[in-house]
Amino acid sequence: MTMHRVRCAATLLIGASVALGTAPSAAAQTLLRGPYLQSAADSRVTLCWRTDVAANSRVRYGLDPTTLDSIVDDPASVINHVVAVTGLKPNTKYYYSIGSTTVVLAGGDAQHYFRTSPPRGRMKRGRAWVIGDSGTKDANAREVRDAYYQDSGKQHTDLWLMLGDNAYDNGRDDEYQAAVFSNMYEARLISSPLWPTYGNHDALSADSSTQSGVYYDIFRLPRNAECGGVASGTEAYYSFDWGNVHFICLDSMESGRLLGDPMLTWLESDLAANLQEWVIAFWHHPPYSKGSHDSDVESELVEMRQNAVDLLEEYGVDLILAGHSHSYERSFLIDGHRGKSASFDPLLHGKDMGDGRIDGDGAYRKPGAGMFPHEGAVYSVCGSSGKTENGSFNHKAMHVGLQELGSLVLEFYGAQLDVRFLDPQAAVRDRFTLVKGGATPVQSRSHLLLPRNSDWKFHDLGVDLKTAWRDPAYDDSAWQTGSSILGYGENYVTTVVSYGGDPNNKYITTYFRRSFELDADPLDVSALTLQADYDDGFVIYLNGTEVLRKSMPSGSISYGTLASSHEGGKYETIDLTSSIDRLVRGSNVLAVEVHQSNRRSSDLVWDCELTFDGFSPWLPSAAAGNVDRQGDIPLDVLRVNGSTGGLGRSVDVADGGAVTIDVEHPPTHSGAARFALFGWFEIPTNDDVVHLGPIGDLCFPIVWWVANNFGVGPPGLLPSNPAPWSYTEPALDGPFDFVLQGVIEETASGTLRTTNAVLVRVQ
């Protein structure tokens, strides 16, 4: 055998050398599948790929695509490569390549990366894509895919769920190749971890009881709690954490669905151990559906509703996703319904019978900030990502029923979850919002980083500044200052810059610089948008790196480079989301060179506006990170008048009204604790607070304000035992805004941790 393999390899090597004239091993294997990401968590990910000939495996990874300085090797010679990368930092973007010890097969570029999850329990912006019954391997599936790609634009997809029937008709390996890996989802597979569940068609080529067959060969799922939750001991059903969200995947096809069966026993233990704020469960057979399948009569659907749903609602599940019916259906916020559709009683089972839209009947609100039983859940059937079938769509629990192709987008923002159903034209056909813990639902997440009509530094002396001026640390104190719009030759210009005095020989290049503050973790920024008013062309450097040029030639730009002609007077919107990585928390610098198209150009114009989508800058998560020495321990929950606010969220208090502050400890709380409350009048930054000394030395520069104004003491240290701690101030005289955040010190263990922060607006 060995001889044979060596001989084959030698033959291939000769062919490669002749054809390519390069290192002989380069063509010895071909990548047939992947890479694709599995079992991702805050410190690990598994990379999988397939080659045509057996070889060893190597993954290289690092923080920059050109510097993949960490290596994981597996010497086993295989065609189906599975490499687990562990010991990673949470919330971090890593670039990677895959191949063997002798050849790189893919990666080492900007497209091949994975991003580790936030620490468990941490609120973080996140985006998930959900497709169901997608395995048609045809134009339908591609249209649904392209609509999502259009919707997500340059935003990262943190998670990707497949709701079963992932490869028609029989779940064979060649069908999976066409339905998932080839000319289908490659672009998403390389950067977004895929979390599948098992459908009836997948079951035609696999078996859950023996963990064998195609589905179980392809997917590498956490059976040992590698990604959070309780170990299930099987890949058929499993759970994992993403930040403050707990996901549970069940097998509604072949694993026992009755109470006492291993899956349900595990489910209860997993739910009982969960400390995350959100719980989302998914499986193939929908507990509520009147689409192409009927949850009144089909046993898988009935049993999942009567048993799994019963447990999940007891533990406070928020959202349940399924497929199987080839349509889209979505319930109201409901609880406790186990019977047939006809027995659904809005008074008994409807927690909120509105549409769940912030701008409609209002978001669905669940009062508890964590898992509280029977506060309601939304059930969504999304089995139309590959084909559609008709149905009566008259299940009484359902708010929406559509025979439309599409997929679901989930967006997490701390205490808020937004869900949208996208059709193949990327139109939103249904949407709803869930909020927990009394948080204020927010619709717009666009924040202004740099407004129009700002003061800019400019250099208009007709001098070639080369490249040093692009550096954020460059000293521009000698430059002039003027409010935009800057330029000349147009009546709407606010600050006139010089063209040099000779109308036939104007300066080609004028330089502009401006700093702006980002009071948020760049990882919480989901989109970055520039609106520019310019004439004629420009190049922008963000913190020293070029991120955009308009009306300029390609190649290197010098002082004398001429622009193509472009007229100012209106703002052009430009997506800079792919440059989010260049942002830093705190001070950022835009350096802009504006070029003329010729030396006689009559006018020059520069102004821009910069906005981002993401968490509000008011409450940066790293403010919590400064003091959170137990990043894997869930936050204690701070409520102001019953509301957690959530990251980036505010609680409004009437001027002169009362404010009650509560802190609730998580189940891990070990007893005696001390509690300090601190607050800011202004937006907190990394430098503002927070130095924690040893026990007995909790102190914050601004905590005196809270203590003084709330009439409790000693300043900075408030009594907190027994939990929960609660304090009411009967009347606050506004108007003003302040941020509150608590720090808990468990006196037995010395453990320190923070609560969520809440922006209180007294007005």
Listed ranges 86-94, 192-200, 651-659, 664-672: which one lies at the site for Fe ion (CB under 5 A): 192-200
Minimum CB distance to Fe ion smaller for 199 or for 438: 199
Residues 6 or more apart from 373 whose CB is under 8 A from it? Answer: 313, 314, 315, 316
Please tell me whether residue 324 binds Fe ion under the rule CB under 5 A.
Answer: yes
Q: How far is the CB of 169 from Fe ion (least distance, A)?
A: 11
Q: How far is the CB of 397 from Fe ion (least distance, A)?
A: 20
CA 375 – CA 365 distance, rounded (Å): 9
First-to-final CA distance of the chain: 81
Listed ranges 13-21, 200-208, 395-403, 747-755: which one lies at the site for Fe ion (CB under 5 A): 200-208
CA 490 – CA 500 distance, rounded (Å): 17
66 CB-contact burial (10 Å; exposed 0-12 / middle 13-18 / buried 19+): exposed
Structure-block tokens of residue 714:
């000693």
Please tell me whether residue 294 binds Fe ion under the rule CB under 5 A.
Answer: no
Residue carrying the six token digits 């919330």: 91
Minimum CB distance to Fe ion smaller for 408 or for 702: 408
Q: How far is the CB of 53 from Fe ion (least distance, A)?
A: 36
Residue 516: HSE in the Cβ half-sphere, 13 Å Cα cutoff: 23
Angle at 445 between CA 442 and CA 449, to 5 degrees: 145
Site for Fe ion in 159-178 (CB under 5 A): 165
Please tell me whether residue 306 binds Fe ion under the rule CB under 5 A.
Answer: no
Please tell me whether residue 200 binds Fe ion under the rule CB under 5 A.
Answer: yes
Residues 6 or more apart from 245 whose CB is under 8 A from it? Answer: 126, 276, 277, 278, 279, 280, 412
Q: How far is the CB of 202 from Fe ion (least distance, A)?
A: 9
Amino acid at 360: G
Going by C-alpha positions, the residue among 203, 320, 321 that lies closest to residue 254 is 203
Q: How far is the CB of 340 from Fe ion (least distance, A)?
A: 21
Minimum CB distance to Fe ion smaller for 133 or for 662: 133
Residue carrying the six token digits 């989802």: 185
Quick note: the x/- pattern for Fe ion over 388-407, rule CB under 5 A, is: --------------------
Q: How far is the CB of 293 from Fe ion (least distance, A)?
A: 8
Minimum CB distance to Fe ion smaller for 385 or for 644: 385
In the set 107, 126, 135, 199, which binds Fe ion (CB under 5 A)? 199
Listed ranges 209-217, 322-330, 399-407, 430-438: which one lies at the site for Fe ion (CB under 5 A): 322-330
How does DSSP classify residue 294?
B
Quick note: the x/- pattern for Fe ion over 613-652, rule CB under 5 A, is: ----------------------------------------
Q: How far is the CB of 284 from Fe ion (least distance, A)?
A: 6
392 CB-contact burial (10 Å; exposed 0-12 / middle 13-18 / buried 19+): exposed
Site for Fe ion in 251-270 (CB under 5 A): none
CA 739 – CA 759 distance, rounded (Å): 4
Minimum CB distance to Fe ion smaller for 324 or for 436: 324
Minimum CB distance to Fe ion smaller for 143 or for 165: 165
Total residues interacting with Fe ion, rule: CB under 5 A: 4
Minimum CB distance to Fe ion smaller for 199 or for 356: 199
Q: How far is the CB of 684 from Fe ion (least distance, A)?
A: 50
Listed ranges 321-329, 486-494, 632-640, 747-755: which one lies at the site for Fe ion (CB under 5 A): 321-329
Contact yes or no for 329/286 (Cβ under 8 A): yes
Going by C-alpha positions, the residue among 545, 132, 534, 529 that lies closest to residue 322 is 132
Position closest to Fe ion via CB: 324
Quick note: the x/- pattern for Fe ion over 436-465, rule CB under 5 A, is: ------------------------------
Q: How far is the CB of 292 from Fe ion (least distance, A)?
A: 9
Minimum CB distance to Fe ion smaller for 200 or for 747: 200
CA 228 – CA 425 distance, rounded (Å): 36
What is the full DSSP assignment across 65-92? TTB--EEEEEEEEEEEEEEEE-SPPTT-
Please tell me whether residue 293 binds Fe ion under the rule CB under 5 A.
Answer: no
Minimum CB distance to Fe ion smaller for 165 or for 745: 165
Helix (H, G, I), strand (E, B) or coil at 372: coil
Minimum CB distance to Fe ion smaller for 324 or for 459: 324
Going by C-alpha positions, the residue among 382, 409, 406, 637 that lies closest to residue 526 is 409
Helix (H, G, I), strand (E, B) or coil at 612: strand
CA 226 – CA 244 distance, rounded (Å): 16
Rounded-to-5 percentages of helix, strand, coil across the chain: 15, 35, 50
Minimum CB distance to Fe ion smaller for 324 or for 674: 324
Listed ranges 136-144, 199-207, 302-310, 452-460: which one lies at the site for Fe ion (CB under 5 A): 199-207
Listed ranges 319-327, 481-489, 604-612, 724-732: which one lies at the site for Fe ion (CB under 5 A): 319-327
Minimum CB distance to Fe ion smaller for 284 or for 665: 284
The residues binding Fe ion (CB under 5 A) are: 165, 199-200, 324
